[in-house]
Amino acid sequence: MSTHIGLAISLTERIYAHYNREMVITSVCDGTHGVGSLHASGNAFDVRIKNLDGDDTNITDNDQHLAAQIVEDLRHELGAQFDVVLEKDHIHVEYDPKG
Protein backbone atom coordinates (compact mmCIF):
# COMPACT_ATOMS: atom_id res chain seq x y z
CA MET A 1 0.00 0.00 0.00
CA SER A 2 1.36 3.41 -0.94
CA THR A 3 1.93 6.21 1.57
CA HIS A 4 -0.64 8.31 -0.31
CA ILE A 5 -3.29 5.62 0.14
CA GLY A 6 -2.42 5.27 3.83
CA LEU A 7 -3.05 8.99 4.29
CA ALA A 8 -6.26 8.80 2.25
CA ILE A 9 -7.51 5.93 4.42
CA SER A 10 -6.84 8.00 7.55
CA LEU A 11 -8.71 10.95 6.07
CA THR A 12 -11.61 8.71 5.02
CA GLU A 13 -11.84 7.33 8.53
CA ARG A 14 -11.94 10.88 9.91
CA ILE A 15 -14.75 11.84 7.52
CA TYR A 16 -16.77 8.73 8.44
CA ALA A 17 -16.25 9.61 12.12
CA HIS A 18 -17.50 13.14 11.43
CA TYR A 19 -20.81 11.53 10.39
CA ASN A 20 -20.66 9.13 13.37
CA ARG A 21 -20.25 6.17 11.06
CA GLU A 22 -17.81 3.26 11.08
CA MET A 23 -15.55 2.97 8.04
CA VAL A 24 -15.23 -0.56 6.67
CA ILE A 25 -12.57 -1.17 4.01
CA THR A 26 -13.66 -3.93 1.67
CA SER A 27 -10.59 -4.08 -0.58
CA VAL A 28 -7.07 -2.70 -0.98
CA CYS A 29 -4.65 -4.98 -2.85
CA ASP A 30 -6.89 -8.04 -2.78
CA GLY A 31 -9.77 -9.22 -4.93
CA THR A 32 -10.51 -9.04 -8.63
CA HIS A 33 -10.77 -5.61 -10.19
CA GLY A 34 -11.22 -4.16 -13.66
CA VAL A 35 -8.62 -3.54 -16.31
CA GLY A 36 -6.40 -0.63 -15.34
CA SER A 37 -7.29 -0.91 -11.68
CA LEU A 38 -4.78 0.58 -9.26
CA HIS A 39 -5.65 -1.91 -6.50
CA ALA A 40 -2.85 -4.33 -7.43
CA SER A 41 -0.22 -1.60 -7.05
CA GLY A 42 -1.58 -0.56 -3.65
CA ASN A 43 -2.87 2.75 -4.97
CA ALA A 44 -6.60 2.18 -4.44
CA PHE A 45 -9.07 1.05 -1.82
CA ASP A 46 -12.81 0.48 -1.51
CA VAL A 47 -15.09 1.37 1.40
CA ARG A 48 -18.47 -0.17 2.23
CA ILE A 49 -21.59 2.00 2.01
CA LYS A 50 -24.40 -0.43 2.93
CA ASN A 51 -23.77 0.13 6.64
CA LEU A 52 -24.18 3.91 6.61
CA ASP A 53 -27.81 3.94 7.77
CA GLY A 54 -27.09 1.48 10.59
CA ASP A 55 -28.48 -1.53 8.71
CA ASP A 56 -25.84 -3.71 7.07
CA THR A 57 -28.23 -5.86 5.02
CA ASN A 58 -28.77 -3.80 1.86
CA ILE A 59 -28.12 -0.41 0.32
CA THR A 60 -30.89 2.09 0.95
CA ASP A 61 -31.58 5.60 -0.33
CA ASN A 62 -30.24 6.88 3.00
CA ASP A 63 -26.98 4.96 2.44
CA GLN A 64 -26.69 6.44 -1.06
CA HIS A 65 -27.39 9.98 0.15
CA LEU A 66 -24.76 9.88 2.91
CA ALA A 67 -22.27 8.12 0.61
CA ALA A 68 -22.66 10.94 -1.93
CA GLN A 69 -21.88 13.49 0.79
CA ILE A 70 -18.83 11.50 1.91
CA VAL A 71 -17.61 11.33 -1.71
CA GLU A 72 -17.92 15.12 -2.04
CA ASP A 73 -16.03 15.61 1.24
CA LEU A 74 -13.28 13.24 0.10
CA ARG A 75 -12.94 14.93 -3.29
CA HIS A 76 -12.60 18.30 -1.58
CA GLU A 77 -10.05 17.08 0.99
CA LEU A 78 -7.97 14.81 -1.26
CA GLY A 79 -7.78 17.07 -4.30
CA ALA A 80 -7.10 16.39 -7.96
CA GLN A 81 -4.41 13.75 -7.38
CA PHE A 82 -7.12 11.31 -6.26
CA ASP A 83 -10.14 9.87 -8.01
CA VAL A 84 -13.12 9.26 -5.72
CA VAL A 85 -16.03 7.38 -7.27
CA LEU A 86 -19.36 6.31 -5.80
CA GLU A 87 -19.89 2.85 -7.23
CA LYS A 88 -23.09 0.79 -6.92
CA ASP A 89 -22.09 -0.77 -3.59
CA HIS A 90 -18.95 1.05 -2.38
CA ILE A 91 -16.81 4.16 -2.54
CA HIS A 92 -13.67 3.70 -4.62
CA VAL A 93 -10.64 5.89 -3.85
CA GLU A 94 -7.45 5.83 -5.90
CA TYR A 95 -4.26 7.81 -6.02
CA ASP A 96 -3.89 8.71 -9.69
CA PRO A 97 -1.81 11.88 -10.17
CA LYS A 98 -2.35 13.57 -13.51
CA GLY A 99 0.48 15.00 -15.57
Alpha helices in the chain (DSSP H): 3-18, 61-78
The residue ranges of the chain whose pLDDT is under 70 are 30-36, 99
Which residues lie below 8 Å from residue 6, measured CB to CB, with a gap of 6+? Answer: none
Instruction: Determine the pLDDT at residue 98.
Output: 76
Q: Look at the chain and report how many structural domains it folds into.
A: 1
Distances (CA, A) of 73 to 51, 58, 79, 88: 18, 23, 10, 18
Instruction: Determine the pLDDT at residue 35.
Output: 60
Q: What is the residue range of 56's domain?
A: 3-95
pTM: predicted TM-score of the whole model, two decimal places: 0.89
Q: How many CA atoms lie within 13 A of 82 on its CB side?
A: 27
